[in-house]
Each structure stands twice: as structure tokens, then as C-alpha cells.
Amino acid sequence: MENRVVITGLGVVSPVGNNVTDFWNSLCEGKCGIDLIKGFEEYELPVSVAGQVKDFNPEADGLERNDIRRNDMFCIFAMAAANQAMADSGLKSGENIAPERLGVYIGSGIGGMDTFVNETAKLLNEGVRRISPLFVPMMIGNIASGNVAIKHNAQGVCLPVVTACATGTTAVGEAYRAVKHGYADAIIAGGTEASINPLAIGGFANAKALSRAEDPKKASIPFNLNRNGFVMGEGAGVLIIESLESAQKRGAKIYAEVVGYGNSCDAHHVTAPNPDGIPASRAIKQSLDEAQFDAEKDLLYINAHGTSTPLNDKTETTAIKLAMGEEAARKAMISSTKSMTGHMLGATGAVELIAATLTVKNGIVTPTIGLDEPDPECDLDYTPNVARKADITLAISNSLGFGGHNSCVAVRKWVE
């Protein structure tokens, strides 16, 4: 027996808002969360802008001082977003869900890089005895899932996913499968990242991946002819993935139904996507097929990976056409929220799936801002600059990660 699977809670920390309401309103208004980098003025950074989280108060999201003091920011972001999502869902371990039936799938592409940088500096400048005894548990990539599980007494399946920039999407997709096939009644799923520091910026910049634009509004410009690289972002997105039976039994509100998941690998290059788009198209097609997408009946929204790099945007356009066929692809409404948030790395897929979920729930397609000169090779409907009202029935969120990881999750509008 297979379970139907729904989304019952959302939580987000992002460059455009540190709760779901602010995040969604910012996207609908086309608000740019990218700004000049703050906090590293002593370094001669090769890039000028980033999507940094602003005015973040973890105590407002239920974190205690010890939580903040003893964890890397990537974990703090995750715990805050998870607390929001659990409060939103109304789930409480031991009250309306058995602890062993509640799981956590929260991944990170990089993990505790700030901790790694800070403790390495101690080693080099003060010696090995000055390294914190918390260094390893603060740094390791699984610790966000671990700490969220501890906080919410989630004793079931716990699987931190690492698929680079596809991490958040893959985590939710795998959580969907686990609930669908009965391994859990609910899973706290998503992604988190906090890697805006000189080491990560230098690495990405020297790999020629980052935009060198100095104007924040002209830096992350997906599908624009003048795009020249992505902009680093940070934050976390967490969704409560729950069986329909469990949600209805406790009278939970439902945002959308999760109806499809696809995953593939380019097996091509460590950073560049396969330019023919074929492997990425398979992940998209798998998700649409499982969702029983009907091009004649469904109005489809696609939250594109849309990184603003020359190769990605062109390849993703090709992949969408291959997955759906040219005619259906041209009917779809597409946008890239990275035009507003920057690329949140391991968090980005989960944050963008939250955007896709709210799109089907609210009937508003958020825009791709900065799209004033479209690339002729990116010739689909990318919702330039202004949000639109549309009765979207099905949405997918695409993620393409370093190492060739492709992931896509589909959500359908929930009708009581």
C-alpha cells in the first residue's frame, strides 16, 4: 500500500525574509535580497555582492543561548526553520505522532564552514590545544538533522542528504518516498547553508563561478543575455512532509500534495552541466510522469534552478523542452527565485520548493527580476520582473548540483 503525501508545515530563513510570510511577500513584490557583502572588509574579496541573511534573531524562533553558542550558523539556520515548520504544522512528537514515526532529512552542501575556518585559524595561530572540543560536532554536515531530531524527539528515519546545490530538493524528494512507502508518518525535510565567508567566496570565485557585477541588482540575473555567474546566498528551508492519513487524522492544514520526484546524474563534469540537457531532462520527466502531468489540463509552474551562469540557464532551458516537448514547455510559467535570493547552495532547493508550494496554494507566480535583456537561447516564459496571478494546478522545482546531481519535485494544488 502506498500513502498519499502532503505538505503541512513550512519554515524559512533567507536573504528576503526570515519567516514564510515575509519571504513570500518579498518574492511577490520582486524584492532583491542581494546586497554588498558585509563583514569581511579586511579581505580583498574578488566579488562584491552576496545574498546574506539580515536581521536574523534565532531566539525568536525558539533557540536558546546554548543552541546559538554551541552550533555553526548552518545548523542554527536549520533549527530555526525547522522550529517554524513544526509550529506551523502543529505536529508534536509523543502527542499527535509517535516519536519513532517522525523523521528528519535536512542536508547541507558544505556544512559548518565558518567553524572549519575559525578553528583552522586557531590551529595555525595558537596551536592544537586551542581547538574547540566542539569543533567536530559543530562542523559535520549531518549535525543539522541530528540537532533538529533531538529538539523535536524525532526517533524515526534520519537521513541527511548531500547532493551539492540539489541537496534541499533531494532531501524533500527522498522524504516523500519514505513517507509514501510507509517508513515514516512525517519527516522534517529540507536544506541549510551558511558559507558566505572569504574561503568559500575565494574558492567559487577562482573557479570562475561567481558574478563579478558590482551592482547588486545586476548580479543574479537568470536567463539574461548579460549573466556572468551566480551570487552566493545563505539560509535554510524546511518542509513538513506527512502522510495524508496522518494529516487528516489530526485535522492539519494542507499546503499542497507532493506527487512526483525525479533524480538523475549527468556523469559528465564536476562543475559544468551536461550541455545536451538529457540527464537533467530525465529527472524532470520522472517527476512529471509520476505526477500524471497532463499538458491539456494542467497549468504548470516551474521554479527553475536558474543560477545566472552562462551554461546552467541554457542547459536547463534545453532540459525542460526535452522533458515536456516544445509545445508544452512554451505553455509553462517559469521563474527563478535566485534572481532575488542568490544561490543558497544546499538550502536553495528546499527554499525554492517552498516558493513553488506557495505558488500553487496562492495562485501567484513570482517573477524573475533583472530580466531586461533575455538570452535568445533561453526562449521560454520566465515571468520577467513582475508577478502574475495564475490558477496553477501543478508545480515542479528543479535543482542541478555540482557533480552532476539533478533533482526535481512536483507538488499539486490541494483541493478539499
Whether residues 54 and 189 fall in one domain? yes
The DSSP symbol for 19 reads S
Structural domain boundaries, residue 403: 259-413
In this prediction, residue 416 carries a pLDDT of 77
8 Å CB contact between 358 and 24:
yes
Q: Cα Rg for the chain, rounded, in angstroms?
A: 20
Q: In whole angstroms, give the CA distance from residue 349 to residue 172.
A: 9
Q: Transcribe 313-343 into DSSP letters.
A: HHHHHHHHHHHH-HHHHHHSEEE-THHHH-B
Which of 249, 278, 297 terminates a domain? The answer is 249
- Active-site option among 305, 378, 405, 408: 305
Q: In whole angstroms, give the CA distance from residue 91 to residue 192.
A: 21
Residue 347 is assigned to a structural domain of this protein? yes
Residue 126 is assigned to a structural domain of this protein? yes
Whether residues 240 and 324 fall in one domain? no
Give catalytic status of residue 165 as yes or no: yes
Please give the tally of structural domains in the chain: 2
CA angle 22, 179, 332 (to 5 degrees): 55
8 Å CB contact between 49 and 213:
yes
The grid coordinates of residue 171 equal: 532531501
Residue 254 is assigned to a structural domain of this protein? no
What are the strands, taking DSSP E only, across 77-127?
A: 102-107
Whether residues 22 and 94 fall in one domain? yes
Q: In whole angstroms, give the CA distance from residue 217 to residue 38.
A: 16
Residue 164 is assigned to a structural domain of this protein? yes
CATH number of the domain encompassing residue 265: 3.40.47.10
Whether residues 238 and 341 fall in one domain? no
In this prediction, residue 41 carries a pLDDT of 87
> pLDDT, tens digit, for every residue of 371-398?
999 999 999 999 999 999 999 999 999 9
Whether residues 182 and 293 fall in one domain? no
Is residue 351 within a helix (H) or strand (E), and if so which, with residue range? helix 348-362
In this prediction, residue 403 carries a pLDDT of 94
In this prediction, residue 402 carries a pLDDT of 94
The grid coordinates of residue 167 equal: 541537496
Residue 158 is assigned to a structural domain of this protein? yes
Which of 216, 249, 282 terminates a domain? The answer is 249
- Active-site option among 152, 343, 405, 408: 343
Whether residues 243 and 372 fall in one domain? no
Give catalytic status of residue 268 as yes or no: no
Whether residues 240 and 268 fall in one domain? no
Alpha-carbon 334 to chain mean position: 16
Residue 174 is assigned to a structural domain of this protein? yes
Whether residues 30 and 100 fall in one domain? yes
Residue 153 is assigned to a structural domain of this protein? yes
Cβ burial of 124 (10 Å; 0-12, 13-18, 19+) is exposed
Whether residues 267 and 243 fall in one domain? no
Give catalytic status of residue 343 as yes or no: yes
Whether residues 166 and 86 fall in one domain? yes
Q: In whole angstroms, give the CA distance from residue 142 to residue 107.
A: 7
CA angle 406, 408, 414 (to 5 degrees): 175
Which of 227, 249, 271 terminates a domain? The answer is 249
8 Å CB contact between 19 and 56:
no
Is beta strand 5-13 parallel, antiparallel or unpaired with respect to 235-243?
Answer: antiparallel
8 Å CB contact between 19 and 198:
no
> pLDDT, tens digit, for every residue of 124-177?
999 999 999 999 999 999 999 999 999 999 999 999 999 999 999 999 999 999
Whether residues 238 and 384 fall in one domain? no
Whether residues 31 and 143 fall in one domain? yes
Q: In whole angstroms, give the CA distance from residue 44 to residue 189.
A: 37
- Active-site option among 28, 32, 165, 378: 165
What is the number of residues in the chain?
A: 416
Mean pLDDT by 10 residues, the chain (416 residues): 95 98 98 96 94 97 95 98 98 98 98 96 96 97 98 97 97 98 98 97 96 96 97 98 98 98 96 94 98 97 97 97 97 98 98 98 98 97 98 98 96 93
